[in-house]
Each structure stands twice: as C-alpha cells, then as structure tokens.
Amino acid sequence: MNTVSVRAPSNIALAKYMGKSDSALNIPENPSVSMTLSSLCTDLSVSETAQADDCFSEEKPYFTKGTAPNLSDGGRAKFLRHVERVRGGLDAFFSEFGLEARNLQDRVEIKSANTFPHGSGIASSASSFAALTLGVATFYAKDREAFRDLFDVSAPFRRKLSEISRQGSGSSCRSFAGPFVSWDQSTSRSMESGLEPLRDLILVAGRDPKTVGSSEAHQRVKTSPLWKGRVKRAMDRHCKILDAIHHGDFETLALTSWEEFFDMHDLFHTSAPSFTYWNDTTRLILESLSHLPMDRVCVTMDAGPNVHCLVRESEATKWKSHFDTVFPGVEILEDHAGRGAEIIEVST
C-alpha cells in the first residue's frame, strides 16, 4: 500500500505564544519557548486515494472517558486547507534540498488519532499540524528514504518543515525538535537543557472542548487593557526562561513560568468580552499549588482548564502520589520530554 505513517508530539509552552503580528502567516507578537512532549501525540497516516478530493478522518479518538469525537466541519476544513498549503510548497522545498516530488495531482486519505483529549487545552493543534505537515511532505517525496535521511540528520530541513507547519498552527512549529524549543518570529530552534530531565504531570481539570478557540483568543487578548506592555513582559520572561533552562536553574524557571501563565490567563479574563478556561477544579488546584515550594514544581497552563506540573524525573513518583492524595478523582496524565516529530513507516 502506498502509505506513510508519522507521529508528532504536543508541546507545553513556558513562555507563551499569545497574540499574532501577522495572522495569515502566524507570526507571533513575542517569542515563546516550550518543552516538547513524547507520548501525548498524534499518530497520522497518509495514503493514496482514488477519490477526487483529499479526505481527513479522526481514527480511534479519545472516546474512552465518554468524550465525543469533536472534530468540527470547520476543523476538518482547516486540516484540508493545510494539506493544500503543504502540497503547494513542496516543489520549492524539495528542490532546495535536492529532492523530487511524486505526482502532486494525486489526492490523499489522512487518518489521524490523538492519544489525549481533543480541545481541552493540551495543545492538540500543535501535534496534529506537525504530524499533518510531516505526513503529507513525506508522502509526496519521490524518494522517501532520502527524505527520511534528511529529516533525521538535517536541522535546516526540519526547520523548513516546521516553518511550513507554523502556517497551519503556530505552536506546531515547536513540535519538530526537543527537549526544549524556542520560537522567535518565523523560525524555531531546539536548545539543550542544563536541567535534570523533567516529567510533566497534567492535572486534568476538564475535558470539554474549548468554548473559545485559540485563533479567537489570539485576537481577543488585544482588547484587554493588560495587552499594553504584554510584548515586553513576554520577551523579558522568554529571555529569563531560556537562561534558566540553559543553566539548569529550576527555581527561576518555575517562578517565571508561574508569572507567565497567569499573565496569559489575565489577558483572557480582562479582554472584551472576557472569557475563561478555568473551572472550579482548576481554581482549587491552583490555590493548592500556590503553597508548594517554587524550587520543586514548575506550574503552567495552556489555553484550557488543565494544569501542567513539571517536576524532576527523580521526584515524579512522589509528586504523582501527592497529587493523587490532594486531588482525589482528578485524572493525571504523564509525559516526559521528547525530541519531536518522527517518521514511523514509509512504503517506497
């Protein structure tokens, strides 16, 4: 069968991308930095189809806890537009790296499955769009093994893919490398860490799809009185966080991340009209976490109700059982840092 399968992880931002200076190209107002995750990911296959149009379907989505499949028609259309975008840029991209494309007139069938709840603030658009970009680009390479070799060894090649991906979903450009990735304007770069390996314990406060999607949030934050000065605050924290990661300074990382996610959520809470991703469980969790020592747990939140707690691997079991006791009934997802999107299988 003429098919390729890929996997791309989500990532959790510590300095946040919120607000765009160019909405068409997804250019951020400020730089951001994230930890790439590993098993919270999107598995995606791209196959040849005899149909006249591309098609996209969600396979075995995260139904197990009673959630419904929730890729809306709009969501599916956004994915299909991105397939067109990727395909449209392949001739130029491939020739830059000495590759050739297969027949770009062929249409594709895409099947995608997330290993975590869709739409609840674990960045599913990051993993989905990274997987989609990588899957479609790999599919159309005439020599897929040569494509895979370049993807494995060439940082500029990965970077180029991440730039294409960014145009579908900004945060997806940070899912092509790891363990930490900094994204400034159009380009993202991986950075090594002086920190002990970290584990992300995600306290799942809610699983409902978001009422305000991230595209809307990027626009609405600019109506907040707190938007004034936001870019400077975010840039300062971005620098501090890069420095803390580089020097293995966990306490500064945790303190700065705490300020940064509150700053982002304060923008949501004060925009016009205001909105929130928090629910009662989120508030309870945050209240309790505010009493923890800053040098042990680094707390952050994405655009959703769930709370990410980054802890040292060596202390993860202890913290997990602490959270199990303090927050009974709250599901905890776990993941560790990864190295970004990968090609799983290609037929030649």
Site of interaction with ligand PMV (CB under 6 A): 13, 16-18, 32, 123, 125, 169-171, 214, 302-303
Q: Whose Cβ is closer to ligand PMV: residue 110's or residue 303's?
A: 303
Q: Whose Cβ is closer to ligand PMV: residue 143's or residue 216's?
A: 216
Q: Phi first, then psi: what are they for 58, rounded to 5°?
A: -90, 125
Q: Whose Cβ is closer to ligand PMV: residue 18's or residue 343's?
A: 18
**What residues contact residue 64 under an 8 Å CB cut-off, 6+ apart?**
none
Q: How far is the CB of 102 from ligand PMV (least distance, A)?
A: 29
**Which residues on neighbouring strands pair with residue 7, listed in sequence order?**
43, 342
Q: Phi first, then psi: what are they for 35, rounded to 5°?
A: -100, 130
Among the listed residues 280, 302, 300, 277, the one whose alpha carbon sits nearest the alpha carbon of residue 289: 300
Q: How far is the CB of 305 from ligand PMV (least distance, A)?
A: 13
Q: How far is the CB of 262 from ligand PMV (least distance, A)?
A: 13
Q: How far is the CB of 118 from ligand PMV (least distance, A)?
A: 12
Q: Whose Cβ is closer to ligand PMV: residue 141's or residue 333's?
A: 333
Q: Phi first, then psi: what are they for 332, rounded to 5°?
A: -120, 120
C-alpha separations of 73 from 43, 69, 85, 135, 159 in Å = 20, 12, 18, 21, 30
Among the listed residues 115, 94, 97, the one whose alpha carbon sits nearest the alpha carbon of residue 43: 115
Q: Whose Cβ is closer to ligand PMV: residue 99's or residue 244's?
A: 244
Q: Whose Cβ is closer to ligand PMV: residue 5's or residue 32's?
A: 32
Q: How far is the CB of 26 from ligand PMV (least distance, A)?
A: 7
Q: How far is the CB of 302 from ligand PMV (least distance, A)?
A: 5
Q: How far is the CB of 98 from ligand PMV (least distance, A)?
A: 31
Q: Whose Cβ is closer to ligand PMV: residue 32's or residue 42's?
A: 32
Q: How far is the CB of 122 from ligand PMV (least distance, A)?
A: 9
Q: Whose Cβ is closer to ligand PMV: residue 141's or residue 204's?
A: 204
**Which residues on neighbouring strands pair with residue 4, listed in sequence order?**
46, 346
